[in-house]
Structure 1
């Protein structure tokens, strides 16, 4: 799994990179079909936005989260990614 993290108006330090990588391992347990993930972290005056483009085998997903703090935005984003990947996995298993 390729993991790319980009910051817009945000300094993406080692702590944020490690936090995202650790949380992505949880998501990766549910589906081994994740090819690459592109994270974009951005900050406005009072809102922090975390977005992810997930490239799965056969499908691309886009997930976003907006919160008051970057850590909270990342946590909400990871929960949304987890649900989306599980939903895709269940749909692909039902087709077979």
Structure 2
């Protein structure tokens, strides 16, 4: 698995990098055919008082590309939400593959 973590208007610190890596281990634990992961962390400076922290992830699995994004006031909370969304999509993709293979096996058996 190739992992690329980059920042837009943000320096990616080692602690931030290790946090993202530890969170992405959950996704890899559910589906081991992950080929490439690109994570983009950014800070959008708005005229309002709050700053919007944004986390995006493009995950390449065998045969499909999965994209997720999340926004929050805290970057760590945005990463947590991003990984939750990504995990749900990966499990759904895995179930789709498993169901497709099971129905193909039924047709061959009969």
Q: Could you state the TM-score of these two structures normalised by the residue count of structure 2?
A: 0.85
Matched, 1:77 2:86: no
Moved over 2 A (4+): none
| 1:61-72 equivalent positions in 2, closer than 5 A | 61-72=66-77
Aligned residues: 96
Give the Cα–Cα distance (whole angstroms) in 2 for the partners of residues 38 and 68 of structure 1: 22
| 1:10-89 equivalent positions in 2, closer than 5 A | 10-45=10-45, 46-89=51-94
Give the Cα–Cα distance (whole angstroms) in 2 for the partners of residues 4 and 39 of structure 1: 6
Root mean square deviation of aligned Cα? 0.6
SS of 2:12's partner is coil
Deviations 1:37-57 (A, max 9, x none): 000001013100000000000
Give the Cα–Cα distance (whole angstroms) in 1 for the partners of residues 10 and 81 of structure 2: 18
Q: Could you state the TM-score of these two structures normalised by the residue count of structure 1?
A: 0.97
Unpaired segments ≥5 residues, structure 2: 46-50, 102-110
Deviations 1:9-64 (A, max 9, x none): 01100001100111111111100011010000010131000000000001001100
Give the Cα–Cα distance (whole angstroms) in 1 for the partners of residues 25 and 79 of structure 2: 14
Please identify the structure whose Cα radius of gyration is greater. Answer: 2
SS of 1:11's partner is coil
